Amino acid sequence: MPTRYYGRRRFLKILLISVILSLIFVVIFLRRQDIFLFSQFLYGLHFSYLNNSKEVSNHIILQPAPTTVLQISLSSLKPLQKTQKGVLSSIEFINPVFLNLESESSNIIPIIVLSNASNIEARDAIRRTWGYDQLYQNNKIQIRVFFLVGIEDFMMKRIHAEQLLFDDVIQVHIPDMYSFIAYRELSAMLWVRSYLPRASFYIKTEDNVIINMKFIINKFLPTIERTTNKNIVIGWFGSEHSIPRGRYQKFINIVLPPSDFNLQYAMSLLYIVTSRASDRMLDAISHVNRIEHPGDPFVTGILRDVAHVQIKNLATSPENYSYKLSNETCGKALETNSKLLFCTSPLLIKSVDEYFKAWHILLSQN
């Protein structure tokens, strides 16, 4: 009799556990269905808008996969599919659904921010601080920030949702690793020339940087305007401006050609490339099928040198432009020197609050 009693209790426990696990499975399934339906709802709104709008009648909608929708113009489709060779032929972009740049590409100064796919909070902090759209040159030119992210399997749905909400995340089929930094920098260059062909230059930066936009707009851009129609890369050149990588990131000193120890490359946190320089470097790389050592010096050093692109070294410019690599908070650095072009600190990645603290200090100085 006791054996039957305990056997029945064991059976009831197993039955109860099975019911609980079934309920958990049902809840997870319903949540996933809700996310899917919400995504379909957003797409429904988008296609309804396209059917009722005459302004986008000259565009096509490509749907290569059920979860990915691209909106690109015929003019911007040609350079990507028909003319790219070598390394560039392997670069593919996924643009935000609602992004339409054709009508305004000549009136944009693009700032391309290289960002890891997982750094969603950093991108959100940048949008809410220095990365909001701003106007320049008597409100004739718009400064727009775009984030270039790589591929990370666990982040695909979140990146897609971010694209739907903000229209500023460009995904490229390249891993988010510093071993591929040259490919990512080339992707930024190719994207600007493909989708913003009338932009005379672009600014490249990274997501662990606070940019002093007021100083950029009022002081920096006016002084470099006269050089933006030249074949030139503008930045800080020299070994004293190199950014050290971590222990498990690819070091780059060994890739420098042994015949030229004076090869200079731009500090990676911020540099400017003109359209003429971009065209020369993209043409040069189109004859290369594989980048042997895709480290920091490749694009603005080795490739720039091969393409015969000139440099403007801000480290020796009479304007004495400066930046800060801070071990403390960027807020303190900007409070000490309000003329910094930008600041970076390890604390920015550890805590997004540092973006807002530094931004509030910049606002208080204006």
315: CATH? 3.90.550.50
Q: Which pairs count as long-range contacts for 242-251, CB under 8 Å and 24+ apart, including other chains?
A: 242/267, 242/296, 243/267, 243/268, 243/269, 243/296, 243/325, 245/178, 245/296, 246/178, 249/177, 249/178, 249/179, 250/178, 250/179, 250/181, 250/293, 250/294, 250/295, 251/295
Note whether 26 and 90 are same-domain residues. no
Domain total of the chain = 2
Note whether 42 and 104 are same-domain residues. no
- Residue of 195, 220, 218 whose CA lies nearest to 106: 195
Give the pLDDT score at 63.
Answer: 32
Is 178 buried (19+), middle (13-18) or exposed (0-12) by CB count in 10 A? buried
Give the pLDDT score at 65.
Answer: 34
Note whether 304 and 222 are same-domain residues. yes
Cα(240)–Cα(250) distance, integer angstroms: 19
Note whether 121 and 229 are same-domain residues. yes
What are the E-state strand segments in 67-133? 68-72, 93-94, 108-114
- Domain membership of residue 15 as a residue range: 1-53
Q: What is the CA radius of gyration of the chain?
A: 25
At residue 346, φ and ψ (nearest 5 deg) are -60, -25
Note whether 17 and 145 are same-domain residues. no
Note whether 178 and 225 are same-domain residues. yes
Cα(196)–Cα(199) distance, integer angstroms: 6
State which H helix or E strand residue 48 sits in.
helix 2-52
Give the pLDDT score at 11.
Answer: 67
Note whether 267 and 336 are same-domain residues. yes
Give the pLDDT score at 84.
Answer: 81
**Mean pLDDT in order along the chain per 10 residues (366 residues):** 55 70 58 43 39 34 32 35 75 88 76 95 95 86 94 88 93 87 94 94 96 93 90 87 49 41 84 97 91 81 94 91 90 92 86 91 86
Note whether 45 and 66 are same-domain residues. no
Cα(298)–Cα(268) distance, integer angstroms: 11
Give the pLDDT score at 9.
Answer: 66
Note whether 122 and 199 are same-domain residues. yes
At residue 61, φ and ψ (nearest 5 deg) are -110, 120
Note whether 12 and 122 are same-domain residues. no
